[in-house]
């Protein structure tokens, strides 16, 4: 599928509202889906961190000299989080989850939630996934996704209940790699409540652009930052759903993840807006840790202002929103102006709704996780620099006539793969 853009392209790798598909949860009007899809992927070799190409591209080690995310708590609403993997040892605050809300929060029935938690705050110990914000801590909330047994459903709370609980916690960031194409009034209500409590919310925009491109919720609700997925060249995945509810883009292709809930091995080549959401959430944690007095509005505003793009500041794309997330551009500028603490940087989108996408059906839809997938369609180009081949057979199509680039660290994706130290 060829994608064209009304504007030129992107210049800052990785950087709406109203409807979508929710993964990993069962809402009143439809089940949620997790926004990754592992379709018979191959197991990854021992050096899993060498597969995390975006750590080099985003200059992670340079950022960690300024901020690791210490002091920031990220609520992960997903399939649960296993706190016993080497990378998550002492990183998961399971005791902070209300027992009546998510009492199975540390029992991951899929492996997806644990993958997202490691991508956010994993220490990389034992050769595990290295989180972008290893100083942050995870507060796990297990929520329902489609295709679950009746027993698991009985033991897992609805998404609305988990968001409400996270809103009442002291977690500053709520990361939701889930989606549903059905509007749930209960979820929409608690999203507004979480916003009123000062939470910064990120959600996956969805992985079905090549077939339906329905609007995805909660990404499309007001006050939720919708995150699209891009690769090591800054190309937006052909599967990554688009529309005016897309706010930012983040690395979401060829990212490793746990193969399943046995936690025996990692799998390679995972593509999905799930991983993009986790990495965007980790980016926010790095910034908030460095500026603990900022509000959610100020953290998000600086992410938008510094996002990689080729068009003018303040303009957006239906494929990557305001651009690709570049937390280093915030961290390295001690004089950056975060703007008003009380002003919503997405006030225009939050007040006007979503346009330019296919409306969702009226019949209930199942929820699925935005888990990794291996798409075969095209994507929009986000970066035009050279990088080592990742082995992905996906075809990419330039975003705009010039095939502009999205920048992650301050330069286009010039990715140098190297063995990472843990």
36, 87, 274, 385: the active-site residue: 274
78, 184, 247, 271: the active-site residue: 78
In whole angstroms, give the CA distance from residue 403 to residue 422: 36
323, 286, 342, 299: which is closest to 135 by C-alpha?
286
Helix (H, G, I), strand (E, B) or coil at 5: coil
Angstrom distances, CA of residue 261 to CA of 115, 264, 377, 382, 408: 10, 8, 29, 33, 32
The 8-class DSSP code of residue 78 comes to E
Angstrom distances, CA of residue 146 to CA of 22, 27, 155, 158, 171: 10, 10, 14, 12, 26
112, 195, 242, 291: the active-site residue: 112
Respond yes or no: is residue 195 known to be catalytic. no
In whole angstroms, give the CA distance from residue 161 to residue 189: 11
The 8-class DSSP code of residue 173 comes to E
DSSP string, 41-61: PPBP-S-GGGG-HHHHHTTHH
HEC per residue, 348-401 = HHHHHCCCCCECCCCCCCCCEEECCCCCCCCCECCCCCCECCCCCCCCCCCCCC
Rg for the chain (alpha carbons), in Å?
18
ω into 218 cis (within 30 of 0): yes
Angstrom distances, CA of residue 12 to CA of 22, 173, 185, 224, 297: 27, 23, 35, 21, 21
In whole angstroms, give the CA distance from residue 392 to residue 138: 31
Helix (H, G, I), strand (E, B) or coil at 413: coil
In whole angstroms, give the CA distance from residue 65 to residue 132: 12
Angstrom distances, CA of residue 385 to CA of 95, 389, 399: 45, 12, 14
Active site residues: 78, 112, 274
């Amino acid at each position: 599928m060829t994608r064209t853009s009304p504007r030129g392209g992107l210049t800052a790798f990785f950087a709406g509202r109203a409807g979508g598909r929710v993964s990993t949860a069962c809402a009143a009007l439809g089940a949620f889906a997790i926004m990754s899809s592992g379709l018979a992927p191959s197991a990854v070799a021992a050096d899993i961190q060498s597969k995390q190409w975006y750590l080099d591209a985003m200059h992670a080690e340079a950022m960690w000299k300024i901020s690791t995310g210490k002091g920031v708590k990220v609520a992960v609403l997903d399939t649960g989080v296993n706190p016993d993997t080497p990378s998550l040892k002492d990183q998961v605050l399971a005791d902070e989850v209300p027992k009546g809300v998510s009492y199975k929060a540390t029992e991951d029935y899929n492996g997806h939630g644990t993958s997202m938690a490691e991508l956010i705050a994993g220490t990389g110990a034992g050769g595990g996934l290295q989180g972008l914000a290893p100083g942050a801590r995870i507060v796990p909330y297990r929520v329902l996704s489609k295709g679950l047994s009746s027993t698991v459903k009985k033991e897992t709370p609805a998404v609305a209940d988990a968001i409400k609980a996270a809103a009442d916690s002291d977690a500053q960031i709520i990361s939701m790699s889930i989606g549903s194409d059905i509007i749930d009034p209960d979820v929409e209500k608690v999203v507004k409540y979480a916003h009123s409590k000062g939470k910064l919310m990120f959600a996956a925009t969805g992985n079905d652009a090549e077939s339906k491109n329905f609007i995805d919720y909660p990404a499309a609700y007001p006050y939720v930052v919708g995150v699209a997925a891009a690769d090591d060249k800054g190309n937006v995945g052909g599967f990554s759903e688009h529309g005016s509810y897309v706010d930012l883009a983040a690395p979401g292709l060829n990212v490793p993840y746990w193969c399943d809930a046995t936690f025996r091995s990692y799998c390679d080549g995972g593509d999905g807006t799930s991983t993009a959401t986790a990495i965007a959430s980790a980016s926010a944690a790095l910034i908030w840790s460095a500026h603990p007095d900022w509000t959610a509005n100020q953290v998000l505003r600086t992410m938008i202002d510094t996002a990689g793009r080729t068009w003018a500041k303040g303009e957006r794309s239906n494929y990557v929103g305001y651009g690709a997330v570049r937390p280093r551009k915030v961290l390295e500028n001690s004089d950056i102006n975060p703007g008003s603490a009380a002003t919503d940087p997405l006030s225009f989108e939050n007040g006007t709704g979503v346009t330019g996408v296919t409306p969702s059906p009226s019949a209930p839809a199942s929820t699925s996780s935005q888990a990794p997938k291996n798409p075969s369609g095209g994507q929009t180009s986000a970066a035009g620099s050279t990088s080592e081949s990742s082995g992905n057979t996906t075809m990419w199509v330039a975003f705009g006539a010039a095939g502009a680039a999205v920048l992650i660290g301050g330069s286009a994706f010039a990715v140098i793969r190297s063995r990472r130290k843990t």
